[in-house]
Each structure stands twice: as C-alpha cells, then as structure tokens.
Chains A and B, each alone.
Chain A
Amino acid sequence: MSRGRELVVCRCEEVTVGDVQDAVRAGCRTLQEVKMATRAGMGPCQGRVCRTLLERLASLEAPPAGAAALTKRLPVYPVPLGQLEEEGQP
C-alpha cells in the first residue's frame, strides 16, 4: 500500500507527491514555481481539484516565500473554441 511518493495529487496532469517534493528540493519556493516545474494545476480543472492538496503539501515541504495560492485567471471554465469565434471580423 504505497502511501508515499507515488500518490497522485494533481489528477489532470498525473503529478505525484514525489514530483512536488523533488520540485521543492530543486529550489521551488512558491506554488507557482512548483506548478512550472511539475505542471500541477495546468490541466483543464486549473487547480480547482488539486489546489487544496498542493497548498497543504507545499506548506509541509517548505514554507513558500511568495504567494501560496495558484493564480486564478479567465477562462474560469474551459470554453469550446467555437464559442469564441467573432463573426465577420476582418
């Protein structure tokens, strides 16, 4: 029963506890840096599911220097590209 590094914390990108620990060990000190190094939070849910797990894990591994939370940006939900098409724009 693996309870350690193989545990998936970001379902969208299949990022594990081990990946997050390695990223922190390699020098990441904010969640944004953990995200850039591991892709955690880059998937379609944009952190909605993994955010709380990552915040808990990051604070366990090393106190983050900067912002703890992942930035929230538009689109707040995935959008079919067809719904963004401007009609007749030159």
Chain B
Amino acid sequence: MSQPRRLTLLKVSPDAGPEAARAAAAAYQDLEAAFGDAVARPARGGEGRLVVVGGGIVGLMSAYFASLRGYRVALVERLSLVGAASGRNGGGVLALGHTLEDLPFNRLSLRLWRQLDETGVRGELVRTGHVMLAFSEDEAETLRSAGELYRAAGLGVEWLAPDEVRRLLPHLAGTQHGGLHCPEDAQAYPFRIAASLQARLRDAGAELLTHTAVTGFRTDGDSVTAVLTAAGEVAADAVLLCAGPWTAGVGALLGLQLAVRPRRSQILVTERVRERVIDPFVTGNAIYLRQTHEGNLLFGGGGKWESYSFDTSSTAAAVRRIATRFLEAFPAFRGVQLIRAFAGTVDLTPDSRPLLGRAEGWRNVCVASGFSGHGFGWSAAAGALAAACVAHALGHDEPTPGVARLLEPLAPCRHAALPAGDGGGATA
C-alpha cells in the first residue's frame, strides 16, 4: 500500500508532457531577455509617482524595482512592513516544485535575488540547493519523472539515490527513498531583505507610510488620482495593489473582483543548533524545512485542513502534526526544543497562479498578489514584473510579445466570481 502522497510542494501536474516543458524553457528565455538584468541595468524612463498599497515583500520589491526605473514611490502599509505573511514563511527562494507555467518566473526570481545580493541589497541569501525527499517508492517514481520534465524545461535538477541524499543530509531517517536535488535553489532571511530594501528605498527618497490604512481612492474616469488614507491623501500617477490576501478588500474599493482568499499556514522554530546540521532547503513528507543563518531549525506546512481565514493563532494540533512530520524525516532531533510557533496567511487563488498585471477597467491600476504561499520566493520577479506593468500601463514602456503572452494568463480579474474551491499549495 503506497504511503499517502505527501509531496505537497510538488505542483507540476502529472500529465504535463515534454511540449509543456519545452514551452517553459522558451518562456524563461523571454523573461530573461526582458528582465534578466532588471537590477543591474534597469529600463529607465519611468516618471511620476507610484503608490504601492501593501508593505509585504512583494510591495517592497515592486517599490524598489519601480524606483530603479525612475518612478517616485510612496508605499502605504496598514500595519508593519513584512509584518504579515512576508515575515512568516519558510524563506525559500525555490524553482524546484513549481508548475511548469510558474517555473520560468521563479527561475527569473532566483536570478534577480542573486543580482540584488550582488548589488548590496542583502537578505542572508545563500545558495544551499534544495532537496525534495521521497518517503515511498511511489513518491520516488513521481519525483524521478518530474525531474525529467524539469530538466527538459531547463532547470538543473538531478535524482539522488538514498545514500547520495544521506551524504547531503546525514541526520535523515532510514525510511527515505532518495530525492530530487536542485543545486541552484536558495534560501534567505525575510527580515534582513526587508531591512535592506527599506534602507535603499529611503535613500531613493521613497515615502514608507506604515501604520496607515487605505480608506479609499480618488478617481477621475478610468484613472486613480490619489490614495485616501487615515493620514490624508497620497497623490498617485499609478497605483499597485499588492496586499497579499487583503488585496481583495482593497480592490473592492475600486469595484474590482480580485479572487484572493486567505488560508493560515503554521510554522515551528527550534532553539539554535550550533552545528550546520541541515544545509540544503528540504521539502517532502508534507513539510518544508531549513536551518536558518542563525542556526534555528524552521519548518512548517499547510494544506486543505487549515483555516481559510486571517486567523494567525497557532494550534497545538498543528504543532503536533508538523513536529511529527519533521521527526519522521529527522528522528535524530527529538531532543531539540521547539521555542516558537507562529503562522502566516497565504493568499490563494482558484488556479493557484498569481494575479499579476493591469486591473481591468482602470488605466493606471496594477495588481501583484495571489502567490498562493510562494510569495517570498516569487517576490524579486514579481517586483520587476509589477514595475514593468506600471510602465506599460503609463505607456513608458512596451512589453515584448513573449512577456505579453506570459502575463496574459495572469490577468488579475480573470476569475469572475470567487468559487468555494481551493487553490491548494503550502507555503514554502
């Protein structure tokens, strides 16, 4: 009897074929051509003021890429910068695991994260690689075939037999059946990248308005001219809505139907372990896991059993469930102490693909949300693309045909009503 399928972070669909893989490879070429050097050599020509609604990692990245393009930026955040999900996630910057459609964007994101690091926007980014573990022969078979698709899509992955995996993860349980390894995947520390982006934005003269709630918009025809907040009006030549799961609420103020739904995702953190006992980012057995730069072991994993709400309290049941999944993989650490449990709110969409592009019916309003639990890894690419969408909306730049084709399925208002269905996906 094969173990229940716990490859919750493998999103590539089983019936994807070689043509989809080749399309993904081509898509990455288009994205790389247009945005491959968006940090080092950004497209200029942006003028006027962009108001970013939402101070999470996507908001900060979008603000930064927009300022690189020359826009003046004001960012409005209801509470604290990266105070919500952006500060409560696994810290993974991963390509391995995504659908073939999202893979090119995440390969671009990895590249831009590295460029940010190289240009001094530090986030404790380390390219540790990522291993997705199999705990049954059935899962090993699934991962091996996914590996072939990923290679055909241009992602450098390799299948590791159990003893090879053990060399990478010496404390791993004997019940593992090998794993898919992606050496170029990375991990980073959310609060550090947020601090670096804030500093750069302040140097560039951006206004970072925290503890400021958006109450409405001033509009003129199909354009927004100002964002109304509790602390007064913020004039805008363009607006970007990127408030994670709260984007639906903000969008409604403009009559937009943005199909983003909240779901809780709980995380556990242990005391610091002095030695580097787990180097790569690890996924599998229904959880994601890493050892942070400070030595804590951080792991978590959501799913359909979680609460579809903005509630971020931890539950003893989830703490036990996640700890058990972790100990099944790493029984050697049963003596290490859990010191903290917390939770983020994942922004799910019906098809688990982001809402990224110009908002239908509005000339100068764009959206970047719905990253379905992968916003942290996505954020560099999302920031570059969101800034580009703003430039396209204001006519300061034209998208290449390839990029236009890739963004078309991400149109923010593509979902008419919000079906009760769920987008699946756990945060990583």
Question: In the complex, are there CB atoms of A and B closer than 8 Å?
Answer: yes
Complex Cα–Cα for A37 and B79 (A): 15
The answer to whether the Cβ of A18 comes within 8 Å of any Cβ in the partner chain is no
Q: Which of B139-147, B217-225, B330-338 faces chain A? A: B330-338
Interface string of B400-411 (1 = CB under 8 A from A): 000000000000
Report whether A75 and B80 are in contact in the complex, using a CB–CB cutoff of 8 Å.
no
The answer to whether the Cβ of B167 comes within 8 Å of any Cβ in the partner chain is no
A32 to chain B, nearest CB (A): 6
Near B by CB (< 8 A), chain A positions 73-90 give 73-75, 78-82, 84-86, 89-90
The answer to whether the Cβ of B416 comes within 8 Å of any Cβ in the partner chain is no
Partner of B326, one of A29, A65, A81, A89: A81
Report whether B83 and A79 are in contact in the complex, using a CB–CB cutoff of 8 Å.
no
Residues in A with CB closer than 8 Å to B83 are 32-33, 36
Report whether B335 and A82 are in contact in the complex, using a CB–CB cutoff of 8 Å.
yes
Q: A39-B294, A74-B314 are in contact. Are A79 and B324 (CB under 8 A)?
A: no
The answer to whether the Cβ of B341 comes within 8 Å of any Cβ in the partner chain is yes
Residues in B with CB closer than 8 Å to A42 are 340
Q: Which of B180-188, B191-199, B345-353 faces chain A? A: B191-199
Report whether B271 and A75 are in contact in the complex, using a CB–CB cutoff of 8 Å.
no
Q: A85-B324, A85-B334 are in contact. Are A26 and B341 (CB under 8 A)?
A: no
Report whether B210 and A75 are in contact in the complex, using a CB–CB cutoff of 8 Å.
no
The answer to whether the Cβ of B316 comes within 8 Å of any Cβ in the partner chain is yes
Residues in A with CB closer than 8 Å to B294 are 39
Partner of A36, one of B82, B270, B339, B340: B82
The answer to whether the Cβ of A63 comes within 8 Å of any Cβ in the partner chain is no
Report whether B320 and A81 are in contact in the complex, using a CB–CB cutoff of 8 Å.
no
A75 to chain B, nearest CB (A): 6
Complex Cα–Cα for A43 and B269 (A): 10
Cross-chain pair count, CB within 8 angstroms: 94
Partner of B327, one of A32, A33, A43, A82: A82
Complex Cα–Cα for A73 and B211 (A): 23
Report whether A80 and B340 are in contact in the complex, using a CB–CB cutoff of 8 Å.
no
Nearest-CB residue, chain B, relative to A13:
B294
The answer to whether the Cβ of B394 comes within 8 Å of any Cβ in the partner chain is no
Nearest-CB residue, chain A, relative to B334:
A82
B101 to chain A, nearest CB (A): 32
Main secondary structure of the interface of A (DSSP, over half): loop
Report whether A74 and B82 are in contact in the complex, using a CB–CB cutoff of 8 Å.
no
Report whether B79 and A81 are in contact in the complex, using a CB–CB cutoff of 8 Å.
no
B428 to chain A, nearest CB (A): 20
Q: A32-B80, A33-B83, A85-B323 are in contact. Are A73 and B340 (CB under 8 A)?
A: yes
A48 to chain B, nearest CB (A): 11
Near B by CB (< 8 A), chain A positions 34-67 give 36-37, 39, 42-44, 46, 65-66
Nearest-CB residue, chain B, relative to A42:
B340
Residues in A with CB closer than 8 Å to B337 are 44, 78-81
Number of residues from A at the complex interface, CB < 8 A: 28
**Which of B87, B320, B336, B337 has most A Cβ within 10 Å?**
B337
The answer to whether the Cβ of B208 comes within 8 Å of any Cβ in the partner chain is yes
The answer to whether the Cβ of B321 comes within 8 Å of any Cβ in the partner chain is yes
Interface string of B79-117 (1 = CB under 8 A from A): 111110001000000000000000000000000000000
Residues in B with CB closer than 8 Å to A33 are 80-81, 83, 210
Residues in A with CB closer than 8 Å to B79 are 66
Complex Cα–Cα for A43 and B140 (A): 38
Residues in A with CB closer than 8 Å to B313 are 73
Residues in A with CB closer than 8 Å to B4 are 90
A3 to chain B, nearest CB (A): 27
Complex Cα–Cα for A42 and B316 (A): 20
Residues in B with CB closer than 8 Å to A39 are 191, 294
Partner of B80, one of A30, A46, A79, A82: A30
Nearest-CB residue, chain B, relative to A78:
B337
Report whether A46 and B87 are in contact in the complex, using a CB–CB cutoff of 8 Å.
no
Report whether A37 and B195 are in contact in the complex, using a CB–CB cutoff of 8 Å.
yes
Q: A33-B80, A65-B211 are in contact. Are A84 and B199 (CB under 8 A)?
A: no
Complex Cα–Cα for A79 and B316 (A): 12
The answer to whether the Cβ of B342 comes within 8 Å of any Cβ in the partner chain is yes
Interface string of B336-372 (1 = CB under 8 A from A): 1111111000000000000000000000000000000
Partner of A75, one of B191, B194, B319, B336: B319
- New A-B pairs, 8, CB < 8 Å, besides A44-B339, A80-B338: A26-B198, A33-B80, A39-B294, A65-B210, A73-B313, A75-B339, A81-B337, A84-B319
- Please list the 4 inter-chain residue pairs (A to B) with the smallest Cβ-Cβ separation, ordered nearest first: A82-B334, A84-B323, A78-B337, A86-B324
